[in-house]
Chain A
Amino acid sequence: DARVTQTPRHKVTEMGQEVTMRCQPILGHNTVFWYRQTMMQGLELLAYFRNRAPLDDSGMPKDRFSAEMPDATLATLKIQPSEPRDSAVYFCASGLVQLPQHFGDGTRLSIL
């Protein structure tokens, strides 16, 4: 069964450190989404790509967050420098146009 794979599953680090989260989308999916989930804000879309090109990153704090797709099998989300308010679960999802999204199990990030 094809799955979206996210690494690491958990990350604890100190404020100011760089954090890199990785996502391997399902082979053949051409759209990749990054979401952030918190108790207060729920599930928020940060950025998404189609055919590796960024389509929308309006949900992402531009000064510290960056998202890229170096190739079709890897999407990355970086935070530099990290802050305690970035603590959340970050999900990657992949899919095809106008079809349901497939989610990974997330990276649980804690910034101390």
Chain B
Amino acid sequence: SQQGEEDPQALSIQEGENATMNCSYKTSINNLQWYRQNSGRGLVHLILIRSNEREKHSGRLRVTLDTSKKSSSLLITASRAADTASYFCALEGKSSGDKLTFGTGTRLAVRP
């Protein structure tokens, strides 16, 4: 299956703490993307990392990619209550054109 598997399924932390989510996959990829989904809303793109990149930063977000282990992680530093959402990794496979296959998601709750 091309689907990414995310870990943990759910995460609850205190405001100010860091949150780390992991995504593992089985196929070869062109890129891996992370999206956020607030309750009742559509997905919002956060960050894209290409297969030849190892790390990217965007504000409080840090994404790493290890293609040898077929895994990626999303780190949110200094979390805020507004970061409460579901986070999904999405894979663009080498043989899938620009179709994305979404992971199962991590539900993050940040307690004030």
A88 within 8 A of B: no
Residue of B88, B100, B101 ringed by the most chain A CB atoms within 10 A = B100
Interface residue total, chain B, C-beta cutoff 8 A: 23
Q: A100-B48, A101-B100 are in contact. Are A43 and B88 (CB under 8 A)?
A: yes
B24 within 8 A of A: no
Chain B residues within an 8 Å CB radius of A95: 98
Contact B98 A97 (CB under 8 A): yes
Chain B residues within an 8 Å CB radius of A100: 33, 45, 48
Contact A105 B88 (CB under 8 A): no
Contact A42 B105 (CB under 8 A): yes
Q: A42-B104, A42-B105, A43-B88 are in contact. Are A98 and B42 (CB under 8 A)?
A: no
Closest beta carbon of chain B to A111's beta carbon, Å: 19
Contact B42 A42 (CB under 8 A): no
Q: A43-B88, A98-B30, A102-B45 are in contact. Are A31 and B40 (CB under 8 A)?
A: no
B10 within 8 A of A: no
B25 within 8 A of A: no
Interface residues of B in 2-51 (CB under 8 A from A): 3, 30-31, 33, 35, 40-45, 48
Chain B residues within an 8 Å CB radius of A106: 41-42
Interface residues of A in 93-109 (CB under 8 A from B): 93, 95, 97-98, 100-106
Contact B88 A56 (CB under 8 A): no
> B40, B100, B103: which contacts A45 (Cβ < 8 A)?
B100
B97 within 8 A of A: yes
